[in-house]
């Protein structure tokens, strides 16, 4: 049975609101792009239809912003603390949605999408590490995977609201989420005890742990010693070059970056960004916007289930199941598009079923556990820098897959594109089996010992 302090849970859930804010920016394109193709000025705020090239930039520019974010936020997190860096992350998303609501010009849209990416990229790079640091070893897996619940809830909101609301109220509702996070996190969340110990502020580290665990000073003594032991591996301030100086850090970097490359090459963000357009191309029996809402609900529902098993089966098992499921679903989806013109109407449910299987499979491992594992593998001295590089890898991969998704479809056909994604899922399965260590229930010090072998 899972045991955790109520205040720890409240802190994690409050922090996760930033993930919700960040992920609304990802699926914002799904309901909005069809509107931007409209000739009706009452629907299209830009006044005229966008071109496919403009569509690709609106979809992919968020990734450029997200590429910029990890390293400076990693530096800010190391120098000034996790809490200040999170509060700074919320501001670009608020400004972005206000621009999208009131400045209805294509170039302002480009700029707003860049800003949105700063929040999304920063949240992805630092949030997993913060949650891992405030959680206990016994429930770290479960609390870390709750992050995915809030990410997927953020995915769902644009799917549900976007097709039915005008541009201004839609974007104002989305702006409210990071604003709410800013206020609640400022009031509720303590600084990471790992950061405070690293800064030799033992008194404040004790206060943080006492607050998180709702225990007396004597009740957190053992955990404080464990944190100090972990930091003995990190007596000096880490920099990017330290990632290559020890066997453990180098293995952590290679495993984390490779898993993130495979996550993006599975097509995760291409499918999420262009869900509604994919269903329109598939000719599904259901309206594309309804199909997108179904996918968002499946994404959220499946993410609610995983936390209860995260510390029972282990990360590696989930990753293997996930890669098999995504591979099979993408093969089915590609096969549907390959034979689409000759298929009878009574099989037009196949795209929805395939994407549902794909989403559920992603949520079993490739979605949440890639982030969880990367936050667990790096030693404390290089964790902000290491996770920032992993996040940078994520957004570079996302930019490539979203910017050139339509080009791939033109060159290979939609069937070929999905089959290509499936082949990368197979490679991810092999990599997981042979190279990814199991981190379930292990302390950070124990994980470092495993990597050092």
pLDDT-based confidence at residue 262 (cuts at 50, 70, 90): very high
77 vs 231, higher pLDDT: 77
Identify the pLDDT of residue 273. Answer: 66
420 contacts: CB under 8 Å, gap ≥ 6: 408, 412
Query: What mean pLDDT do residues 271-284 have?
Result: 71
Higher pLDDT, residue 272 or 129 = 129
Residue 52 in tokens = 């496919």
Residue 329 near residue 355, CB atoms below 8 Å:
yes
The conformational region for residue 314 under phi > 0 = left, psi -120 to 50 = alpha, else beta, is left
Burial class (CB in 10 A: 0-12, 13-18, 19+), 6: exposed
d(CA 249, CA 226): 20
Angle between helices 29-36 and 140-161 (to 10 degrees): 20
Instruction: Please tell me the least confidently modeled range out of 85-94, 231-240, 275-284, 437-446.
Output: 231-240
Separation of alpha carbons 199 and 217, rounded Å: 19
Convert the pLDDT of each residue in 156-195 to its tens digit. 899 899 988 988 999 999 999 999 999 999 999 999 888 8
Helices and strands (H and E) in the chain: how many: 22, 0
pLDDT of 310 above 70? no
Residue 1 has pLDDT above 50, yes or no: no
Per-residue pLDDT band for 108 (boundaries 50, 70, 90) equals: very high
For residue 236, pLDDT over 60 is answered with no
Task: With a cut of 70, say whether residue 35 has pLDDT above it.
Answer: yes
CA distance 112 to 107: 9
Q: For 276-292, what is the mean pLDDT?
A: 73
- Ordered structural domains, the chain, with CATH: 6-189+233-452 (1.20.1250.20)
pLDDT at site 152 = 83
Average pLDDT over residues 388-411: 84
pLDDT at 86: 93
Q: Which residue has the tokens 């005008």?
A: 166
Task: State how far the Cα of 65 lies from the Cα of 333, in Å rounded to an integer.
Answer: 31
Residue 397: which of 257, 277, 249, 255 has the closest Cα? 257
The candidate with the shortest Cα–Cα distance to 184, out of 306, 106, 73, 86, is: 86
Q: Residues 6 or more apart from 232 whose CB is under 8 A from it? A: none
Q: Which is higher by pLDDT, 32 or 442? A: 32
pTM above 0.85, yes or no: no
Q: In terms of pLDDT, which residue wins out, 4 or 387?
A: 387
Q: What pLDDT does residue 186 have?
A: 94
Q: pLDDT tens digits, residue range 431-444?
A: 999 998 888 777 77
What is the average pLDDT value for the chain, to the nearest integer? 85
pLDDT band at 316 (very low <50, low <70, confident <90, very high): confident
How much is the pLDDT for 237? 58
pLDDT given at position 4: 59
Report pLDDT for 327.
Answer: 96
SS3 content of the chain, % helix, strand, coil (to 5): 80, 0, 20
Write out pLDDT tens, residues 329-374. Answer: 999 989 988 888 887 877 878 888 888 899 889 888 888 788 788 8
Mean pLDDT of 203-216: 84
CA pair distance 86, 125, nearest whole angstrom: 11
Give the pLDDT score at 201. 85
For the four alpha carbons of 378, 384, 389 and 395, in that order, the dihedral sign comes to: positive
C-alpha to C-alpha distances, 370 to 264, 320, 383, nearest whole angstrom: 11, 12, 15
Rounded distance between C-alpha atoms, residue 402 and residue 268, angstroms = 10
- Mean pLDDT for 33-48 is 88
The torsion angle over the Cα atoms of residues 212, 85, 446 and 2, rounded to 10 degrees, is 40
Q: Is the pLDDT of residue 395 over 60?
A: yes
Instruction: Report the pLDDT value the prediction gives residue 179, as an integer from 0 to 100.
Output: 97
**Side-chain-side CA neighbours of residue 391 (13 Å):** 32
């Amino acid at each position: 049975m899972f045991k955790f302090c109520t205040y720890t849970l409240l802190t994690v859930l409050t922090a996760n609101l930033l993930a919700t804010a960040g992920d609304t920016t990802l699926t914002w394109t799904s309901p909005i792009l069809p509107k931007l193709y409209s000739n009706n000025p009452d629907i299209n705020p830009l006044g005229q239809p966008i071109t496919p090239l403009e569509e690709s930039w609106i979809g992919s520019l968020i990734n450029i912003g997200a590429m910029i974010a990890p390293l400076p936020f990693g530096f800010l997190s190391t120098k000034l603390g996790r809490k200040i860096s999170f509060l700074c992350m919320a501001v670009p998303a608020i400004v972005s949605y206000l621009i999208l609501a009131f400045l209805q010009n294509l170039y302002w849209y480009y700029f707003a999408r860049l800003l949105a990416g700063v929040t999304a990229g920063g949240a992805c790079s630092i949030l997993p590490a913060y949650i891992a640091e405030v959680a206990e070893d016994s429930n770290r897996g479960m609390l870390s995977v709750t992050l995915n619940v809030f990410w997927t809830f953020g995915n769902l909101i644009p799917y549900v609201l976007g097709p039915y609301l005008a541009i201004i109220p839609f974007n104002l509702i989305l702006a409210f989420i990071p604003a709410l996070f800013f206020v609640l996190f400022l009031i509720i969340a303590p600084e990471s005890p790992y950061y405070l110990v690293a800064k030799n502020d033992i008194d404040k580290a004790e206060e943080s742990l006492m607050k998180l665990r709702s225990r007396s000073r004597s009740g957190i003594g053992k955990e404080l010693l464990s944190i100090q032991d972990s930091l003995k591996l990190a007596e000096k301030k880490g920099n990017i070059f330290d990632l290559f100086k020890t066997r453990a850090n180098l293995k952590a970097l290679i495993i984390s970056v490779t898993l993130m490359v495979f996550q993006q090459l599975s097509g995760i963000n291409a499918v999420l960004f262009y869900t509604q357009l994919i269903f329109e191309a598939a000719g599904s029996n259901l309206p594309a916007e309804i199909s997108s809402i179904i996918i968002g609900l499946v994404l959220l529902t499946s993410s609610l289930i995983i936390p209860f098993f995260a510390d029972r089966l282990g990360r590696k098992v989930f990753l293997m199941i996930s890669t098999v499921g995504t591979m099979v679903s993408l093969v089915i989806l590609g096969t549907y598009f390959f034979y689409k013109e000759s298929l009878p109407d009574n099989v037009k449910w196949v795209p929805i079923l395939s994407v549902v299987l794909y989403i559920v499979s992603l949520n079993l491992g490739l979605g949440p556990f890639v982030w969880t594992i990367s936050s667990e593998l790096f030693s404390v001295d290089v964790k902000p820098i290491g996770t920032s590089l992993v996040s940078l890898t994520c957004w570079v991969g996302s930019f490539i897959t979203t910017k050139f998704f339509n080009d791939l479809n033109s060159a290979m056909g939609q069937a070929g594109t999905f089959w290509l994604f499936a082949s990368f899922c197979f490679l991810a399965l092999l990599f997981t089996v042979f190279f990814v260590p199991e981190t379930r229930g292990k302390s950070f010090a124990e994980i470092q010992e495993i990597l050092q072998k």
